[in-house]
A and B are shown apart, each in its own frame.
Chain A
Amino acid sequence: MFPLILAVVTKGDGDLMGRLQRRDPQALAELYDRYGQVVFRLILRMVRDNGVAEDLVQETFLRVWNRVGGFDSDRGAVGPWLLAVARNRAIDYLRSQSRRAESAIDLNETEHPELFADLSTAALDFDLVRQVKRALDQLDSQSRQAIELAYFEGMSQTEIAERMGQPLGTIKTWTRRAIQQMRAALGGAVPA
């Protein structure tokens, strides 16, 4: 099942974030009710362990709760921010388990609240999610594996090349092709 709730949750997030910034516990409950399922599914897909996933979901919401002061509730899109935090928590866990070296880019850099200001909230709806799912399903297996390793395991293209036993140039071609095909499939939903 797709998270149908996404079609509506992004619309009233400004008020919710304002209440979170005022430390309203009920607002955190509402945030969880809106996004808890999506966050859990993403993290579970990445770590593949139910107990670990729940711990990381908790970390995710507490991190947002403790950092919400830096979020611009008038301009920010909380859903993308929340999922970025969730993904980073899961990647941190995966790296700690596999003793992989940290990426050259600090994960904190990718989840700074300011980065999620002025996103096109009109695009954050169910249609977009459905289109992305369809585009992923239509990718050739190599391109799909490459982009999934980048997204769900936080691998750089060099790491993907090692994992897939392919030259770096080939991996770059595959990942770019995956992105290009997704963008093409999305049409105007995510403008070039």
Chain B
Amino acid sequence: MTCDELRLDYLLYALGVLEDPERSEVRAHVGRGCEACLAGLRDARVLAFAMGSAVVGPNPSPQLRNRILAAANGISERRWNWFTALVAAGATALLAAGLMFYQAGSSRAELAEARVAAQRSGAEAAVMRQALELIQAPETREVTFGQDQPAPPRGRVFFRTSDVLLIASRLPPPPPGKTYEMWIISGGKPAPAGLFSSSQTGNAIHLFSPTAPPTQSDVVAVTLEAAGGVAAPTSKPIIVAPL
């Protein structure tokens, strides 16, 4: 058969429903590199795409997006909530959006808000990627803090050999001239682990790479200190999270 005779069969071939003898003819033309047939098939694939795109109907549920991303990353739904919160970041965006997923029963509206925030990009993207990688890593461990307190900061610490990530809510912004400082207390001795702030809505995220791997006998703590930080804590810890 000639290319001209086959040109109305390209679409069915591209759709996988063309039968013999036309199918074998198209295959033979393609097999010998027939330019006309190859071009016709490319156009047929564009047409098939347009036909599929022309379908009208309802939208998928808002949860589907999270399901797919969680499955792709091989992480549990529980961790996915944190993952989403982090993606929602670009740190300041995260602080603004809050650790909404820390609260039980995240609403659809919150998920939608997180999606919007997730589309933002910021200077903290590299940090966020590192945080995401940390949360997803199979060797990462996590502990919670503040669960049994009436009105404290609450949150989690994710940690592994090379990283410690603190995520907190209900942590008011530090007063002017002050900052939060994280500590890793090992053998009763606190080592500085970086400065951070929190948002107006009381949310904070802080990632630190310690020189020595944290162990499960260590404690992560946070104190309020003078801006610029101090070498040793000078106030009572606001957050205490035994690893």
Contact = CB atoms under 8 A, between A and B. Distances in A.
Interface of A: 1-3, 6, 25-26, 28-30, 32-33, 36-38, 40-42, 44-45, 50, 53-54, 57-58, 61-62, 65, 77, 79-80, 83-84, 86-88, 91, 103-107, 109-110, 115-116, 118-120, 123-124, 128-133, 136, 150-151, 154-158, 175-176, 179-180, 182-183, 186, 190-192
Interface in B37-57: 39-43, 45-57
A62 B69 CA distance: 9
Contact of B48 (A38, A84, A180): A84
Contact of A132 (B17, B50, B72, B132): B50
Given A80-B48, A84-B48, A110-B14, A42 B55 contact: yes
A37 B72 CA distance: 18
A124 B46 contact: yes
Interface of B: 7-9, 11-20, 23, 39-43, 45-61, 64-65, 67-69, 71-73, 83, 87, 115, 118-119, 132
Contact of A80 (B7, B45, B64): B45
B52 A32 contact: no
A50 B8 CA distance: 34
A132 B11 CA distance: 13
A83 to B, nearest CB: 4
Contacts of B65: 29, 32-33, 36
A182 B47 contact: yes
Given A58-B68, A157-B17, A26 B87 contact: yes
28 contacts: A2-B54, A2-B56, A25-B72, A28-B68, A29-B65, A33-B115, A36-B68, A38-B53, A40-B60, A40-B64, A45-B55, A54-B61, A58-B68, A62-B68, A80-B48, A86-B52, A87-B15, A88-B16, A105-B23, A116-B45, A124-B46, A131-B50, A132-B51, A133-B54, A136-B54, A150-B15, A190-B50, A192-B40
A29 B87 contact: yes
Contact of B57 (A45, A104, A175): A45
Contacts of B73: 25
Contacts of A40: 57, 59-60, 64
A186 B12 CA distance: 17
B46 A119 contact: yes
A91 B16 CA distance: 11
Contacts of A118: 42
A131 B54 CA distance: 9
A104 B60 contact: no
A104 B23 contact: yes
A28 B51 contact: no
Contact of A129 (B12, B53, B67): B53
